Amino acid sequence: MSEHESADVRRDPYGSVEGLGIELTDGVLRLTLDRPAKRNAIDDLMMVGLIDALDAAGRDEAVRAIILQGAGEHFCAGADIVAPNTKQGMAEGGDTGTQNAEPIAVARPSRPRVGSIQRRLPSRAHQLIPLVLTVQVPVVCRVQGWAAGIGFQLALAADFTVAADDARFWEPFTERGFTPDSGATWLLPRVVGPARARELLLLGRSLDGDEAAAWGAIHRSVPGDELDTEVASLADRLAGGPTIALGLTKWLLAASADEALEAQLRNEAFALELSSRSEDFKEGLAAFIQKRSPDFTGR
């Protein structure tokens, strides 16, 4: 690292940082928000760590599935969108999971100059959410407790989100007097529809895990004591799948949001050309002919 590079640029994208655990085992990359005293609110260091790890995972053939989870009783209470570093600022969703919670906001010696949020978001939260949506590895999000603000957006952006039935999903923005960020106004209308998006963003309604599943905001809700088993089973299934075909299918689904039919058909032809040249395609055909389960290697 040169003396001119930012101090938060790290050589090892899978090296854990303060507040974020990163572990790659048997093809599954686990990203654990580990700031339980702050309900896993994401500060700048954690944000950069997530961005680095997801960016590297998209190029790493050893990664075949990603689990995004939170340590302790909650998934993620929001993001520090004001503080210039991890020692100052205010979490957007912060400790707002209960009416009597202590706020995360802490005193800072001086206010950042005007435009701080507008300058920082493109290289922080507004870089993270598109990565979750586009990384060509399936992402499984595990939610317990509160998923507020960017925590909710991460759950929406993941390919599969499994939540405890008593988890709570909430967009705290207007109740705190500011506007949504991290893709909330793009994700919610597409995932739950415009009317329900207004209810969540303008009226500040929260959803429990069962309601979120019923609304189509997440993949599934389960009793809390079944959460680990359900997430591990899903991640293992994805990690044992045809990684190239899964990644390209994820890309096709993301691209379809902005493409006309003719353009999307061209994308499908391109993806089929690539996937049909993979070893997993040959294995899938052989397994079909031999009437057995395929043994995909992710290549």
Residue 5, pLDDT score: 44
* 157-168: average pLDDT: 97
CA distance 271 to 249: 8
CA dihedral over 232, 235, 237, 239, signed as positive or negative: negative
Q: What is 20-239's CATH topology?
A: 2-enoyl-CoA Hydratase; Chain A, domain 1 (3.90.226)
* DSSP state letter for 225: G
Question: Taking 50 as the threshold, does the pLDDT of residue 204 lie above it?
Answer: yes
pLDDT tens, position by position, 65-107: 999 999 999 999 997 655 444 444 344 444 444 333 433 444 4
- The confidence band for 122, taking pLDDT boundaries of 50, 70 and 90, is low
* Beta strand spans in 71-179 (E): 139-143, 146-148, 160-164, 168-170
* 46 touches 117 (CB < 8 A): no
* Predicted pLDDT at 258: 86
Minimum mean pLDDT range among 10-14, 32-36, 79-83, 112-116: 79-83
Instruction: Identify the pLDDT of residue 54.
Output: 96
Q: Where are the domains of the chain?
A: 20-239, 243-289
- The whole-number pLDDT of residue 13 equals 86
**227-285 tens-digit pLDDT:** 999 999 999 999 999 999 999 999 999 999 889 999 999 999 999 999 999 999 999 99
Do residues 19 and 43 touch, judged by C-beta distance below 8 A?
yes
Nearest alpha carbon to residue 69 among 20, 118, 103: 20
pLDDT score, position 219: 97
Q: In the prediction, which pLDDT does 108 show? A: 52
Report the C-alpha gap between 128 and 51 in whole angstroms.
Answer: 6
User: Which tokens belong to 253?
Assistant: 């689904």
d(CA 289, CA 280): 14
Mean pLDDT, the chain, integer: 86
pTM for this predicted structure? 0.84
Residue 157 falls in which region: left (phi positive, over 0), alpha (psi -120 to 50) or beta = alpha
**What's the pLDDT score for residue 221?**
97
- Can you give the pLDDT at residue 97? 41
**Dist. CA 177–CA 166, nearest whole Å:** 27
Radius of gyration, CA atoms only, the chain: 20
Amino acid at 72: G
pLDDT at 113: 73
- Structure confidence at residue 123 (pLDDT): 58
Residue 224 pLDDT class (50, 70, 90 cuts): very high
Please state whether 205 falls in left (phi above 0), alpha (psi between -120 and 50) or beta: beta
Which of helix, strand or coil describes residue 239?
helix
Structure confidence at residue 12 as a pLDDT band (50, 70, 90)? confident
Asked if 182 and 79 count as a contact pair (C-beta separation under 8 A), the reply is yes
Contacts of 275 (CB under 8 A, 6+ apart): 242, 244, 245, 248, 281
CA distances to 33, 53, 66, 215 from 15, rounded to whole Å, are 14, 9, 15, 36
Detail the DSSP E strand segments found in 34-151: 65-70, 139-143, 146-148
User: Which of 210, 212, 176, 201 minimizes the C-alpha distance to 95?
Assistant: 176
d(CA 4, CA 143): 39
Q: In what order do the strands lie in the sheet with 28-33?
A: 20-25, 28-33, 65-70, 139-143, 160-164, 220-222
